[in-house]
């Protein structure tokens, strides 16, 4: 009986020893990676971390498509108001194109640089002290170098403050109450400046629409001018300065390249 009990004890001890051996071998191989899932290399881990960071870190958010060349078309309608006291405002309108470049500088900010080419017409009336004239000022051509600072205003919309300065070419024609007229003898060269606020609404990746308001100032020295009295034309030196402020609304489409 003692012999059989000893044999059973030895068998159990052998089984435990064998199981322990194989368990130790398996644990060792697992620790060495023989049966573990492949571990990414350091470069792969860093690339993954960068991709996640670019999606969720506000400082490195990708704004692909928000920067690039643009082409805007604008129609403006407002009131020409002479800076001389006592004058009466009249209707002013303009049309133009504006190629430019927009750069996304952060999650909610952008800068714009553009050049506006425009033409139009402004009408107003001078006070009796300044000649009592109904003035027509056809703007043949103007060009403004413009700079803008913008910020996001919602999904697919942003607003921009714009500032511009440049030359403008026009002619002057004033009709007095007695029928006499005063007109510029040639094309006048003046200066134009503007400040405006524009909302841009993106409809597709390449098409948007602008809606804005601006204040535009235009100034010319009319002298010398040609005066017509009772059908007789004479060239005279007159004290005329065409100086007007034009508050106006601007609308138009915008193409993004």
Q: Are residues 19 and 130 in the same domain?
A: no
Which CATH number do you get for residue 125?
2.40.160.20
pLDDT tens profile 134-181: 999 999 999 999 999 999 887 889 999 999 999 999 999 988 887 888
What is d(CA 102, CA 110) in angstroms, rounded to the nearest whole number?
7
pLDDT value for 58: 45
- Domain-located, residue 53: no
Residue 48 in any domain: the answer is no
Q: Tell me the residue range of the domain where 10 lies.
A: 2-39
Instruction: Indicate whether 97 belongs to any domain.
Output: yes
Determine phi and psi for 166, rounding to 5 degrees.
Answer: 175, 175
C-alpha pair distances (Å), 94 with each of 75, 91, 143, 246: 6, 10, 12, 11
Q: For the chain, how big is the Rg over CA atoms in Å?
A: 39
Please state, in angstroms and rounded to a whole number, the distance separating the CA atoms of residues 97 and 112. 15
Indicate whether 52 belongs to any domain.
no
The pLDDT profile of the chain, 257 residues, written as one tens digit per residue, is: 445 555 555 566 666 666 666 555 555 555 555 454 555 556 666 665 655 554 444 444 444 447 899 999 999 999 999 998 888 999 999 999 999 999 988 877 899 999 999 999 999 998 766 567 899 999 999 999 999 999 988 788 999 999 999 999 999 998 888 788 888 888 999 999 999 999 999 999 899 999 999 999 999 988 778 888 776 777 777 777 889 999 999 999 999 99
Q: Cα–Cα distance between 194 and 246 in angstroms, integer?
A: 9
pLDDT digits (tens, 9 = 90+) for 215-237: 999 999 887 788 887 767 777 77
The CA-based angle 77-79-80, given to 5 degrees, is: 120
The total of structural domains in the chain comes to 2
How many whole angstroms separate alpha carbon 123 and alpha carbon 92? 6
Rounded Cα–Cα distance for residues 254 and 85 (Å): 38
- The whole-angstrom separation of Cα 183 and Cα 172 is 5
What's the distance, Cα to Cα, between the start and end of the chain in Å?
98
């Amino acid at each position: 009986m003692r012999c059989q009990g000893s044999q059973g004890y030895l068998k159990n001890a052998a089984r435990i020893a064998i199981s322990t051996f194989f368990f130790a071998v398996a644990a060792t191989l697992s620790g060495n990676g023989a049966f573990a899932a492949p571990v990414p290399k350091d470069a792969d881990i860093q690339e993954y971390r960068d991709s996640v960071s670019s999606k969720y870190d506000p400082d490195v958010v990708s704004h692909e498509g928000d920067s690039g060349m643009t082409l805007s078309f604008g129609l403006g309608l407002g009131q020409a108001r002479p800076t001389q006291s006592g004058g009466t405002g009249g209707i002013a309108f303009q049309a133009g194109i504006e190629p430019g470049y927009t750069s996304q500088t952060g999650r909610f900010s952008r800068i714009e640089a553009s050049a506006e080419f425009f033409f139009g017409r402004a009408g107003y009336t001078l006070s009796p002290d300044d000649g009592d004239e109904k003035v027509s000022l056809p703007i043949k051509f103007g060009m403004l170098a413009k700079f803008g600072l913008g910020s996001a205003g919602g999904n697919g919309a942003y607003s921009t403050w714009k500032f511009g300065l440049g030359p403008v070419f026009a002619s002057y024609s004033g009709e007095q109450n007695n029928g006499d007229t005063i007109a510029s003898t040639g094309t006048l060269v003046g200066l134009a400046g503007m400040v405006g606020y524009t909302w841009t609404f993106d409809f597709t990746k390449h098409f948007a629409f602008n809606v804005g308001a601006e204040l535009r100032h235009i100034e010319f020295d009319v002298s010398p001018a040609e005066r017509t009295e009772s059908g007789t034309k004479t060239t005279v030196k007159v004290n005329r300065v065409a100086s007007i402020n034009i508050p106006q609304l601007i609308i138009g489409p915008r193409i993004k390249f």
